[in-house]
Amino acid sequence: MSQTVAPALTFDPARLVRPAIHDLPVYTREAPPETRPDREVRLSWNESPYPPSPKAIAALAAVAAHNRYPEFDAWSLREALGRYVGAPAEQIVAGAGLDNVLETLMALLLEPGDKVIVSEPTFSVYELLIQAHGGETVNVPLRPDFSLDAQAILDAIDERTKLVIICNPNNPTGNLLDPEAIERVVFEAPCVVAIDEAYAEFAGNSYLDLMKRAPNLAILRTMSKFAGLAGMRVGYGVFPEQLMPYLSRIMPGFCNVSAAATAAAIASLADVEYNRAIVARIVADRDALAAQLRQIPGVTPLPSATNFLLVRLPVTNAAPVVQELARRGVYVRHFGNPDHHIADCLRVSIGTPEENAIFADELEAVLRQQEQAA
């Protein structure tokens, strides 16, 4: 008995995918060297080189009920975060990393064609998320000295502007932005202003208190940097009270935070002294590395209020230096857009003193090798 063969199905995924996704750039790491080095020093992702609090590690080990969901509204985590920052738990949204919290904010605000203002060079994930949600990124660049141009931001706002994102301290430049400029934008912008404070613990600076006078201000934070929980993926935001009835409608179930990550985060937040000691250690190591780098001819580490340094090199394009460092097993970042005025720079996360010494020695060797080859 013969069988009828169905015609081949024509499947065109490009037709189904939203147009905003087609030209979306991919957020990737630096290309790894062709041959993996025997020794690898990862100073490229602004992670803590130190483990999280022993209390967090113990809390992780005590989580046994992995077959059960965590709290649906992540209430215990949100309460702990509220105690930490001095804000009501009702105004906190947690997520699987700060990117996830930003996604929730974009989903709340953006219709296709709505605008979000950023100031480049800054965290490149902003633009990816804006475009993925159908929004338009409006870049009001930082000035050449990496200061915020408040007037230009306010001039760029129109009726389609839903959000202004300010990264402070800024990534990848590492600097704190002028408080007067930030406050002017917050108080004069007729839209939501979100300040990304991912590195606030290193800077000793926050605009959380400003929320009492600014009903349009949101503060974005993460447990990845200061608490050493990058692998746990715990981010959060403190949002205006008036937005919470709407955010609660789209906040992901369980806030996308696992039971294990919740336990680790709550225990870590309770170990304030450990976290302060780690932050102080990283800041001291950062300043020591900056001093060492200044001894290398032509190398200028820029001022930083974070756990990384942006380092200007005596080259026009730092990409070959970064690639050679990777070949030697030292991974750092390069941002090559010439419009950002940092193509001659690399960004290095602060590692252990041993890792920092390896980086400085290898950088000096690479620069010397390139100078001899010129």
Residue 225: what pLDDT?
96
Give start-end residues of each CATH 3.40.640.10 domain in the chain: 54-270
Q: Tell me: the pLDDT tens digits for 322-369?
A: 999 999 999 999 998 888 999 999 999 999 999 999 999 999 999 999
Q: Tell me: the pLDDT tens digits for 69-90?
A: 888 899 999 999 999 999 999 9
Q: Tell me: the pLDDT tens digits for 220-253?
A: 999 999 999 999 999 999 999 999 999 999 988 8
Whole-number percent of the chain with pLDDT over 90 = 82
Residue 104 carries which side chain, given as an amino acid letter?
A: T
**208 pLDDT higher than 60:** yes
State the average pLDDT over residues 143-152. 97
Residue 77: what pLDDT?
97
Angle between helices 98-109 and 125-132 (to 10 degrees): 40
In the block, residue with structure tokens 């390139």: 370
Mean pLDDT of the chain: 93
333 DSSP assignment: B
CATH number of 54-270: 3.40.640.10
Q: pLDDT-derived band of residue 30, with 50, 70 and 90 as boundaries?
A: low
Task: Quote the Cα angle for 79-81-86, to 5°.
Answer: 90
Which stretches of 110-210 are DSSP H helices? 125-132, 150-156, 179-188, 200-203
Least reliable range by pLDDT among 17-26, 48-57, 273-282, 283-292 = 17-26
At 203 the three-state DSSP class reads helix
Element (H, E) at 348: strand 345-349
Q: How many CB atoms lie within 10 A of CB 48?
A: 22
| Contact between 312 and 300 (Cβ < 8 Å) | yes
| Integer Cα distance of 367 and 298 in angstroms | 9
Give start-end residues of each CATH 3.90.1150.10 domain in the chain: 30-50+273-373
CATH for 30-50+273-373 (3.30.110.60, 2.40.50.100, 3.90.1150.10, 1.10.1240.10): 3.90.1150.10
| Integer Cα distance of 322 and 318 in angstroms | 6
Q: Tell me: the pLDDT tens digits for 119-134?
A: 999 999 999 999 999 9
49 DSSP assignment: S
Q: How far is CA 7 from CA 10, 15, 69, in A?
A: 9, 20, 44
Element (H, E) at 364: helix 353-373
Least reliable range by pLDDT among 203-207, 362-366, 370-374 = 370-374
Q: Tell me: the pLDDT tens digits for 303-325?
A: 999 999 999 999 999 999 999 99
| Contact between 192 and 218 (Cβ < 8 Å) | yes
Q: pLDDT-derived band of residue 263, with 50, 70 and 90 as boundaries?
A: very high
Residue 2 carries which side chain, given as an amino acid letter?
A: S
Q: pLDDT-derived band of residue 262, with 50, 70 and 90 as boundaries?
A: very high
For residues 252 and 197, the model is more confident at 197
**175 pLDDT higher than 80:** yes
Residue 355: what pLDDT?
98
Q: How far is CA 332 from CA 25, 140, 265, in A?
A: 21, 27, 28
Q: pLDDT-derived band of residue 64, with 50, 70 and 90 as boundaries?
A: confident
